[in-house]
């Protein structure tokens, strides 16, 4: 059953209130009444009227003061107000309209005009209420879209993307790139149900994301069982390589604590990278360059449960971490490079 509109009648003359109540009841409106300005403000808050018929001349607080209160309060300013005034009191009508009243109703009251003015105000309120609902829906959708962007993309580039619908490629210096991968992942997949593989993988990646965030690293992407993150890309870390080492050892530990434990290896290199967004519909922020390729090669040549660094990365943490040189190792596509196996902290 549709709710009947509620009209608040504000008038200090009992005859006018009785007359309006009768007319409005005949028009199938519910009514409440108030005889002065202070009572009006209370009734507005307790009764939530759809339209207010407001007499201008009242004791204690006149209609203009009531109108000023109503229009200055975000909770009540959208309630349509029809000012009641003598037919020859044009200045009061004009002032009321200027203060935000929707319409006016002259005394003595004409039933046809009463119906028309109230119906027009109710229709306007209905459209305004719909507009508010639509705006709230848009704001909710916008918030969801922003939240999704923050999940997919680094916070620092979201504003540029929203303003220009693109992110210009840019070169970043002194970025530590970290790769991890599960040792023996393919044989593991061949001997375990796919649902178990995905469940274990999901738990590992979720733990890695949390660890990366804790150490100030930015996740870039996952590929199968590999995980790539960078340090010092958008945030000013004191030592991106040291943060990556700390995160790498935590990832080694986390993989071993999974419901079905895995062994992982970690590779870290430092240098310049080029960062940009790929695509126009399904956005992906990625980084490229020799630094990225080298970090991946270092990871792929590592032993299980180890964190290995390029010599360039090792130079960034000498005196702050312990490690052992593995000598010159031939990396595919890179030739020979000196690799350092860093020890876990506290050992």
Per-residue pLDDT tens over the stretch 227-247: 999 999 888 889 999 999 999
pLDDT of residue 331: 85
Residue 200 CB-density burial (10 A; 0-12 exposed, 13-18 middle, 19+ buried): buried
What pTM did the predictor assign?
Answer: 0.62
Please report where in the chains the tokens 């210009």 appear, as a residue. Answer: 168
Angle, alpha carbons 218-223-224 (nearest 5°): 130
Please report where in the chains the tokens 């935590």 appear, as a residue. Answer: 250
Helix, strand, or coil (residue 128): helix
The distance from CA 311 to its chain's CA centroid, rounded to whole angstroms, is 41
Domains of the chain in start order, with CATH, are 6-134 (3.40.50.2300), 166-342 (3.30.70.1230)
Tokens of 14: 């009992």
Each residue's pLDDT tens digit, 280-301? 666 677 889 999 999 999 999 8
Each residue's pLDDT tens digit, 312-329? 999 999 999 999 999 998
What residues form DSSP beta bridges with 218? 230
> From CA 180, how far away is CA 192, in angstroms rounded?
21
> From CA 148, how far away is CA 44, in angstroms rounded?
40
% of the chain surpassing 70 pLDDT: 95
Q: What is the end-to-end Cα distance of the chain in Å, rounded? A: 74
Distances in Å between the Cα of 264 and the Cα atoms of 30, 256, 331 are 72, 8, 19
DSSP state, residue 233: S
35 near 59, Cβ under 8 Å? Answer: no
pLDDT of residue 341: 95
> Which residue stretches of the chain have pLDDT < 70?
1-2, 87, 148-153, 279-283, 346-347
Helix, strand, or coil (residue 100): coil
Q: How many residues does the chain have?
A: 347
DSSP state, residue 318: B
289 near 173, Cβ under 8 Å? Answer: no
Distances in Å between the Cα of 310 and the Cα atoms of 129, 197, 296, 305 are 63, 31, 11, 17
- 217 contacts: CB under 8 Å, gap ≥ 6: 178, 229, 230, 231, 243, 244, 247
Using DSSP, how many helices (H) and how many strands (E) does the chain show? 11, 13
């Amino acid at each position: 059953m549709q709710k009947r509109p509620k009209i608040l009648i504000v008038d200090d003359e009992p005859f006018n209130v009785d007359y309006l109540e009768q007319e409005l009841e005949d028009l199938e409106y519910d009514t409440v009444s108030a005889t002065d300005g202070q009572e009006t403000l209370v009734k507005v808050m307790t009764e939530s009227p759809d339209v207010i018929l407001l007499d201008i001349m009242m004791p204690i607080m006149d209609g203009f003061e009531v109108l000023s209160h109503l229009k200055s309060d975000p909770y009540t300013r959208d309630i349509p107000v029809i000012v009641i005034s003598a037919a020859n009191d044009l200045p009061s009508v004009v002032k009321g309209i200027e203060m935000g009243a929707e319409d006016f109703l002259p005394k003595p009251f004409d039933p046809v005009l009463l119906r028309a003015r109230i119906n027009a105000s109710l229709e306007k309120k209905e459209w305004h209420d719909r507009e508010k609902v639509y705006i709230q829906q848009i704001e909710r959708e916008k918030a969801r879209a922003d939240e999704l962007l923050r999940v997919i993309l680094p916070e620092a580039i979201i504003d540029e993307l929203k303003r220009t619908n693109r992110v210009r490629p840019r070169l970043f210096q002194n970025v530590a790139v970290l790769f991890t991968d599960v040792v023996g992942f393919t044989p593991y997949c061949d001997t375990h149900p796919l649902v178990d593989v995905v469940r274990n993988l999901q738990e590992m990646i979720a733990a890695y994301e949390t660890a990366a965030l804790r150490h100030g690293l930015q996740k870039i992407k996952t590929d199968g069982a590999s995980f790539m993150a960078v340090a010092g890309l958008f945030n000013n870390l004191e030592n991106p390589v040291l943060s990556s080492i700390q995160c790498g050892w935590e990832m080694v530990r986390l993989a071993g604590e999974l419901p079905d434990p895995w062994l992982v290896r970690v590779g870290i290199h430092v240098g310049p990278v080029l960062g940009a967004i790929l695509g126009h519909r399904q956005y992906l922020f990625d980084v490229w360059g020799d630094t990225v390729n080298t970090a991946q090669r270092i990871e792929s040549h590592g032993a299980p449960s180890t964190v290995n660094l390029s010599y360039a990365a090792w130079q960034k943490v000498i005196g702050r971490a312990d490690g052992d040189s593995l000598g010159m190792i031939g990396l595919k596509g890179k030739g020979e490079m000196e690799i350092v196996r860093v020890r876990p902290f506290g050992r």
